[in-house]
Structure 1
Amino acid sequence: MKKASILMIIGPLFLLGLYVLPLWNIMLGAPQYPEPLGMNIFIDGIKGVNEFDIQNIDGLNHYIGMRTLPKPEDMWEFSAFPIIIGVMVALGVLIGLLGFLGKVSYKWFLGWFVLMSILGVLGMYDFNAWMVDYGTNLDPNAIMKLTNEDGTPVSYKPPLFGHVKMLNFDVTSLPSTGAWLMFTGMMLTVVAFFIGKKAWQPKGGTHPAKPIKVKANDK
């Protein structure tokens, strides 16, 4: 159980990488840009891959009526996510320490993983909802107004995961280093659960005694 608890302590610590490394990356490539434009999405804001990428992306977006990319103060998520990650790291380490001291069972390890997974799914849902609004809620007075064949406005929503062709741009959206660190840390807690389950012995002793077989002719 102690080996499992150590893994449970280490796993959540991987999430600390999210404070310095990007969670997601979106790249935009086009013939007129020999070096693609890109933005790294952190838990507390958005930064350009290169020095002037954010300015160039905002300049392109202006022509088609998209809003400028949000600053940290423009979205509550950029204030809430660092707090949520900090709480989950502290909670995971605490569960690991309690497991090491024999105060909680291995089931708590899985509980942390499930809670973190739910928060991750909610975060992805929120991120996708923001991209839908960002790519479809366009300025009606934009310089360029492009429509589909049926007359509806063109959507400029970036993909949540993968690649899409958007006008003459190839847009790719993929998890970045921080997301992979988070995934690794979460998988360590799953490993800790299974190791802990194998090693777990309930309080009060050992496994129950095996029943004694008695032959029918024994008196």
Structure 2
Amino acid sequence: MKNASLIMIIGPLFLLGLFAFPLWNIMLGAPQYPDPLGMNIHISGIEGVSEFDLQNIDGLNHYIGMKTIPKSGEMWEFDVFPKVIIGMMILGVLIGLLGFFGKLDFKWFLGWFVLMSVLGVLGMYDFNAWLTDYGSNLDPHAIIKVVNEDGTPMTYKPPLLGYQKMLNFDVTSLPSIGAYMMFVGMSLTLLASYMGWKSKGTKVKQQSKEVLAA
């Protein structure tokens, strides 16, 4: 159980990578932009891949009526998400320490993994809702108005995951380093749960043998 607990302590520490690296990346390529424009989405804000990327993206968005890219203080998520990540990191390490000293069993490791998974799904849902609003809630007085074949206004929602063609832009949306680090950390806690379960099973078998031998 001690080895499982050590892994449980290490796993949540990978969440700290979200403060150093972006969680998600969206790239926009077009013939007029030999170097694609990009956004790195962090848990505390959005940054351009290159120095003037956000400025150029906002300039393009203005013509089709999209809102400007929100700054850190303009979305509650950028204030709440860092606190949630720190809270989950501390909770995970605490559970691992208590497990190391025999105060908790592997079920708590699994519980942390499930809770973090639920929070991750809710975060993705919120992210997708923001993308939908960002690409659909357009200014009716925009300079350029593009409509679908049925006459309804075209939406410019970037894909949540993968590739999409939007007018003459090739848009790609993929997880970035922070997301991969979070995935590794969560995988370690799942491994710790499995090791703790195996350790408990081995201990029960050993105790049964001792009882029979007595």
1:66 aligns with 2:66: yes
User: May I ask how many residue pairs the two structures share in their alignment?
Assistant: 212
1:85, 1:10 → 2: CA distance? 15
Q: Which has the larger radius of gyration?
A: 1
Alignment gaps of 5+ in structure 2? none
Quick one: distance in 2 between partners of 1:179 and 1:201?
33
User: Match of 1:11?
Assistant: 11
Question: Percent identity at matched positions?
Answer: 69
CA distance in 1, matches of 2:205, 2:163: 56
Task: Report the Cα distance in structure 1 between the residues aligned to 2:159 and 2:41, rounded to whole angstroms.
Answer: 14
Q: Pairwise mapping of residues 38-77 of structure 1 onto structure 2 (< 5 A)?
A: 38-77=38-77
TM-score by length of 2: 0.95
Partner of 1:217: none
Q: Which amino acid aligns with 1:37?
A: L
1:102 deviation in Å?
Answer: 0.3
Q: 1:153 to 1:102 in 2, by over 3 A?
A: same
Cα separation, 1, equivalents of 2:204 and 2:46:
53
TM norm structure 1: 0.93
Shift of 1:208: 3.2
Distance 1:164 1:205 in 2: 55
Distance 2:153 2:34 in 1: 29
- Aligned amino acid, residue 54 of structure 1: L
CA distance in 1, matches of 2:113, 2:95: 11
Unaligned runs of 5+ in 1: 213-219
Q: In 2, Cα distance between the equivalents of 1:123 and 1:51?
A: 27
1:159 CA displacement: 0.1
After superposing on structure 2, the runs of 4+ consecutive aligned residues of structure 1 that deviate more than 6 Å are 201-205
The CA RMSD measured in Å over matched residues stands at 1.8
Task: Find the aligned partners of 2:63 and 2:205 in 1 and give their Cα distance.
Answer: 72
Structure 1 contact 106–196 (Cα < 8 Å) conserved: yes
